[in-house]
Amino acid sequence: MLEIMKSDYQLEIIFKIKQNREAKGLGQKNIADILGISEGHVGNIESPKFPQKYTLKQLDILCKYFKMPTEQLFIPDDIYVQENINITALLVEKIVEYEN
C-alpha cells in the first residue's frame, strides 16, 4: 500500500516555492543555504515521495526572500483578489491546513 506523504495542499505550497526558486534561477542548494539546511533536505521537501515539508519559519524566511506576502503563498490567487473576505481568518485556516 502506498502511503501518502504530503497532502495536495502541502504540495501546492511547496510547488509555489519551487516555482519562485526556478524563476529566480536558484537551485535547491541556494534554498538550502538560505534556510541553513542541507540540499538533500530541500530535495526531500520538493519530492512528493518524502514526508518532509517546509516549517512555517522556513516559509516565512522564503516569503521575505522572494518578497512575497505570506497570504499570497497560502491563499489561492482567485480567492486572494476577492473583495470582502477576511484575509486574516482565511490565512489562519490555510496555515492550519498546511500544518496538518
- Note the pLDDT tens digit of each residue in 7-41: 999 999 999 999 999 999 999 999 999 999 999 99
Give the predicted TM-score (pTM) of the model: 0.87
Burial 25-34 (b: 16+ CB within 10 A, else e): ebebeebbeb
Reported as a pLDDT band with limits 50, 70 and 90, residue 79 is confident
Residue 1: the pLDDT is 47
Q: CA 20, 90, 93 angle in degrees (round to 5)?
A: 90
Higher pLDDT, 16 or 81: 16
